[in-house]
Amino acid sequence: METTTIKVGGMTCGGCTASVTRVLTGLPGVAKADVQLTPGQATVVFDPRQVTRADLCAAIDDAGFEPG
C-alpha cells in the first residue's frame, strides 16, 4: 500500500468532502480516503497495482473538483 496527498480545489462544504471521499473509496484498490475541507486535500491509502495517482486525480476531476 502507498499513501499520497492530493490537493483538492473547489470544495466548499461537508457535502463536497463526502462526495470526494465517496468517489475515491469507490475506486478499486483504495483502502482509505481522508478528505479535509481545510486545507483542501485528500490523503489516500491505495494499492498501486490496482490504481494510480493519476486515476485518483481523474476521479476527483470527474466529480467536479480540481485535483492538484
Exposure class string for 28-56: b at 16+ Cβ within 10 A, else e: ebbeebebeeeebbbebebeeeebeeebb
**Is the domain 2-67 a CATH 3.30.70.260 member?**
no
Residue 68 — pLDDT band, cuts 50, 70, 90? confident
Q: Which residue do the cell numbers 486515476 mark?
A: 55
pLDDT tens sequence across 2-22: 999 999 999 999 999 999 999
Strand partners, 23: none
pLDDT tens sequence across 23-45: 999 999 999 999 999 999 999 99
Each domain of the chain, given as residue ranges in start order, spans 2-67
- CA angle (47 as vertex; 37, 67 as ends), nearest 5: 35
